[in-house]
C-alpha cells in the first residue's frame, strides 16, 4: 500500500524529533500518524462524547436492522459458579459496593438495568471498569461478555456505540467494560503491541482477567459462558486475552482487530495496521478458541488482511490456508444485505464433526467502525449488520468445552 503524503510528513517530523527531542517525542509523532489526526470528522450526535471516528464511514441517517440471524433466548438453567480464592474473600452472592453511573448519560436512559462503576487492582496495576446488570437479574448465574474499547474511547462511549447494554438487557446477561488509563497510553489504546502485554500474566491481560474473575466472584456468572470482545486496539487485546486465558473465556469476538504478536512496538504496530509487518503463522502459544471476526472492506486504519489473519490464528492455521480453500474443515458462505444498508459476506467454518467453530464477516463499503452500532458513540456504522447481536448469537452457541470434573 502506498503511503500518503501526510504520513510521510509525519515520519519526517518523527525523524527530526528523534534527533532533537529524543525517542519519546518521536514516538508521540508516530502515534499521531497511527491515530490519523487531522482527518475529516463527521457530524455527531450532540449528546455523544467528544470522540470521533478516525476513519469516518459514509454519512449515516436511520439505523438499520440486521437481516442476519436472530439470536435465541439464553437458557435460564446454568451451573453454579466455581469457587474462586481471593485475598479478602467475599460471599459469592454478596453485592459489591458499586457506584451508580451518571443517570443523566444519554445511553443510560435507554436501558432499565443498572450500569455501575468499580475498579480492580492486582500486582500489575489498577483499572476501572463499568458493569451492566440486566433488570431481570435475580441472583441466577448469567452469561457475561467482557468488552474492550478502542483508542480514544471509554466504557460509556463504547457501550453507547455498540448498544451492547441493550442486547444484554434483551437476552439477560452481564456486560463488563474495562477502561484503559491515560497513564498507560495517552490515547486510551490497549497496549496490544507491547511484548510485555502479549502473553498470560502480562500487565494488561492479567488486569483484564482479574476484572473478569472479580465480577464472577461478586455476582452469579456462569463460568462456562464468559466471553470477550473488542474493537480495533481492544479487539487486538481481546485476541491476546482469549488466547492467554483459555480456561476463562469460552469464545472471542474481534472487530477490526489484529493477530497476537503482529507488532512489538509503535513503528511495527503501524506496519501491521497497514497490512504489512511480519507474517503471522501458527502460534504454539495461542490456544484454539472459537472466534467471530468482523472487518470493514474499506478499513483504512486497520487493513482488512488483519481480520483473516486473526481468524486463522484463532483456528491454529494460516491465512493462506483459509483464503486458498485448502482448509480440511468445510466452509459455508452466505451473502446478505441490511435493509437500506450494507451488504456483507458471512463465512462459517466447521470442524471435522461438522460443528461451526468460527465465522468471518466482510462488511462491504464499511470503514473502521463497529458494524450496526449507534451514532451516539464513536467508531460506529449503523448501516452494517448488527455485530453485537451476531456476537451474542455466536457466543450462545459456544459455551466453554471444558470437561466435567
**Rounded mean pLDDT, 252-263:** 95
Prediction pTM value:
0.74
Q: Give domain limits for the chain.
A: 1-38, 64-396
- CATH code of domain 64-396: 3.40.50.1820
DSSP string, 37-95: TT-------TTS-S---SSPPSP--SPPPP-S--PPPPPS--PPPPP---SS---TTPP
pLDDT tens digits for range 313-358 = 988 877 766 666 544 456 889 999 999 999 999 999 988 788 899 9
Higher pLDDT, 93 or 379: 379
3-state secondary structure of 166: helix
Burial class (CB in 10 A: 0-12, 13-18, 19+), 314: buried
pLDDT tens digits for range 69-110 = 223 333 322 222 222 222 222 222 223 323 333 433 444 446
Other beta carbons within 10 Å of 71: 20
Percent of the chain with pLDDT over 90: 59
**Average pLDDT of the chain, as a whole number:** 77
- Reported as type and span, the H/E element at residue 308 is helix 305-314
**Rounded mean pLDDT, 390-397:** 96
Burial class (CB in 10 A: 0-12, 13-18, 19+), 153: buried
Amino acid at each position: 500500500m502506498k503511503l500518503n503524503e501526510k504520513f510521510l510528513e509525519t515520519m519526517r517530523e518523527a525523524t527530526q524529533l528523534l534527533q532533537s527531542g529524543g525517542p519519546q517525542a518521536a514516538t508521540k509523532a508516530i502515534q499521531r500518524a497511527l491515530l490519523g489526526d487531522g482527518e475529516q470528522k463527521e457530524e455527531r450526535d450532540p449528546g455523544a462524547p467528544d470522540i470521533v471516528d478516525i476513519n469516518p464511514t459514509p454519512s449515516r441517517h436511520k439505523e438499520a436492522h440486521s437481516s442476519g440471524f436472530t439470536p435465541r433466548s439464553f437458557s435460564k438453567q446454568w451451573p453454579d459458579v466455581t469457587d474462586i480464592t481471593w485475598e479478602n474473600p467475599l460471599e459469592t452472592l454478596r453485592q459489591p459496593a458499586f457506584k451508580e453511573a451518571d443517570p443523566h448519560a444519554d445511553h443510560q436512559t435507554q436501558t432499565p438495568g443498572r450500569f455501575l462503576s468499580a475498579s480492580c487492582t492486582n500486582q500489575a496495576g489498577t483499572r476501572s471498569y463499568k458493569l451492566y446488570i440486566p433488570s431481570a437479574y435475580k441472583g441466577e448465574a448469567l452469561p457475561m461478555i467482557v468488552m474492550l474499547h478502542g483508542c480514544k474511547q471509554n466504557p460509556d462511549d463504547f457501550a453507547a456505540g455498540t448498544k451492547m447494554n441493550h442486547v444484554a438487557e434483551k437476552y439477560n446477561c452481564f456486560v463488563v467494560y474495562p477502561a484503559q488509563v491515560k497513564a498507560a497510553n495517552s490515547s486510551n489504546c490497549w497496549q496490544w503491541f507491547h511484548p510485555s502485554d502479549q502473553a498470560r500474566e502480562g500487565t494488561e491481560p492479567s488486569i483484564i482477567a482479574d476484572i473478569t474473575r472479580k465480577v464472577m466472584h461478586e455476582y452469579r456468572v456462569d463460568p462456562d459462558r464468559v466471553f470477550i470482545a473488542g474493537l480495533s486496539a481492544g479487539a487486538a487485546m481481546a485476541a491476546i486475552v482469549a488466547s492467554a486465558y483459555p480456561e476463562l473465556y469460552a469464545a472471542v469476538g474481534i472487530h477490526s482487530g489484529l493477530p497476537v504478536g503482529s507488532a512489538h512496538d509503535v513503528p511495527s504496530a503501524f506496519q501491521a495496521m497497514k497490512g504489512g509487518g511480519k507474517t503471522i503463522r501458527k502460534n504454539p502459544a495461542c490456544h484454539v478458541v472459537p472466534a467471530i471476526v468482523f472487518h470493514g472492506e474499506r478499513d483504512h486504519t486497520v487493513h482488512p488482511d488483519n481480520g483473516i489473519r486473526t481468524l486463522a490464528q484463532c483456528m491454529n492455521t494460516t491465512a493462506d490456508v483459509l483464503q486458498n480453500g485448502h482448509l480440511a474443515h468445510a466452509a459455508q458462505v452466505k451473502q446478505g444485505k441490511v435493509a437500506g444498508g450494507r451488504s456483507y459476506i458471512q463465512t462459517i467454518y466447521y470442524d471435522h464433526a461438522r460443528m461451526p467453530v468460527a465465522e468471518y464477516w466482510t462488511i462491504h463499503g464499511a470503514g473502521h467502525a463497529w458494524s450496526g452500532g449507534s451514532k451516539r458513540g464513536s467508531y460506529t456504522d449503523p448501516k452494517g449488520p448488527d455485530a453485537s447481536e451476531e456476537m451474542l448469537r455466536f457466543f450462545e452457541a459456544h459455551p466453554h468445552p471444558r470437561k466435567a470434573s
